[in-house]
Structure 1
């Protein structure tokens, strides 16, 4: 049985989706889909989660797609508009875990430039005893090294933590390293999973 919970941030504690912003910029769904699949892709964004600045990463892309300069810079300048609030079921579960005295930690692929603003989006982040943020460490999930860093920093073995993440790839990586895992897909399934692991 795990004795602590290791939380991802985006789409587990707070909702994040670039489409939330780009629906405002590209009202035409076809144009929007094309831009997000060919220009500002998640693969292009990944270096910012490893410490590259938004300005540097945007500049690289603008050099390739100069006609989309304004839309690319929106990724940096209007980042907060990609969020649509906290996930109530997660906030409630974290509060309940807190009352039970269950230690809670964080592990997120997140830029060092957006970390503080993200942590301000929900009081639930204040329940974390500590966290590992990829942008501060120069490595990101699913690299086994960042999971090992969590174990070292939190003084816990993999089997002592339940890792909650919305990415199947990250879940598989954690499971292969011995973590208990919950693939966060349906918020309503979170509390039953915590009960099933003996945490609530």
Structure 2
């Protein structure tokens, strides 16, 4: 019996994409893609998600790539321009789950503690959760099992009674290894279908 729903945030409930910013900076699409795949990479960003300060992360890259200093510093200096808005169809599913009164609902997110405050002020639905565990605060992140365990322990969640929803397949695999039910998010419509299969009513 599932009584707990755990949402990822980015690409599930919130549309965040560095390309929204860097298309304003780079006139050439390929040049932008090269920058985001070789300099301001997802792996580099995850270090900030895991607790490294934004200043330290930016300084580290500027030292390695001084010719790209301005564009590197734009990553966090203009971070809010990477936000494309709420993913409304998924937020509606969240609302229906919340309104049903049947489930405790949490968020487990890889997110810098510093930039999360920007999102918190921007999206009212972040106040709907029964709890949010943020990687930048805990100084660890998905897919490391200790990060999931922080959530389970803090809120007395039994893994077999929890459903975890994330767009990143590696994070799904890690959740399942801890005994959680899991849905690999691809779209709101597919999520609805998977919830029905799992007898999670909305």
Deviation at 1:142, TM superposition (A): 0.5
Q: Deviations over 1:97-123 (max 9, x none)?
A: 111112100100111101121123322
2:33 partner SS: helix
- Provide, for residues 113-161 of structure 1, a one-character-per-residue CA deviation record: whole Å limited to 9, x for no partner: 0112112332221210001100000110000111111110111111111
Give the secondary-structure state (helix, strand or coil) at the position aligned to 1:37. Answer: helix
Runs of 5+ consecutive residues of structure 1 not aligned to the other structure: none
Question: 1:24 Cα deviation (Å)?
Answer: 0.7
Cα-to-partner distance string for 1:79-112 (whole Å, 9 max, x where unaligned): 1111101011111111111111121001001111
Task: Report the 3-state secondary structure (helix = DSSP H, G, I; strand = E; otherwise coil) of the residue aligned with 1:148.
Answer: helix
Q: Which residue of 2 aligns with 1:179?
A: 180
Query: Which whole-Å CA distance do the structure 2 matches of 1:64 and 1:146 have between them?
Result: 30
Q: Is 1:50–1:140's contact at 8 Å kept on the other side of the alignment?
A: yes
Aligned to 1:65: 65
The alignment's TM-score, normalised by the length of structure 1, stands at 0.96
Query: CA–CA distance in 1 between the matches of 2:8 and 2:83?
Result: 15
Q: Residue 86 of structure 1 contacts residue 121 of structure 1 at CA under 8 Å; is this kept in 2?
A: no
State how far apart, in whole Å, the 1-side matches of 2:150 and 2:133 are: 8
Instruction: Trace 1:1-200 onto structure 2 (pairs within 5 A).
Output: 1-101=1-101, 102-200=103-201
CA distance in 1, matches of 2:187, 2:3: 23
Give the aligned CA root-mean-square deviation in angstroms.
1.0
The CA distance in 2 between the partners of 1:93 and 1:123, in whole Å, is: 15
Asked if the contact 1:5–1:161 (Cα under 8 Å) also holds between the matched residues in 2, the reply is: yes
Q: Matches of 1:71 and 1:29 in 2, distance apart?
A: 15
Give the ranges of 4+ consecutive aligned residues of structure 1 lying more than 3 Å apart after TM superposition.
Answer: none
Deviation, structure 1 residue 20: 1.1
Distance 1:136 1:122 in 2: 19
Alignment coverage as a number of residue pairs: 200
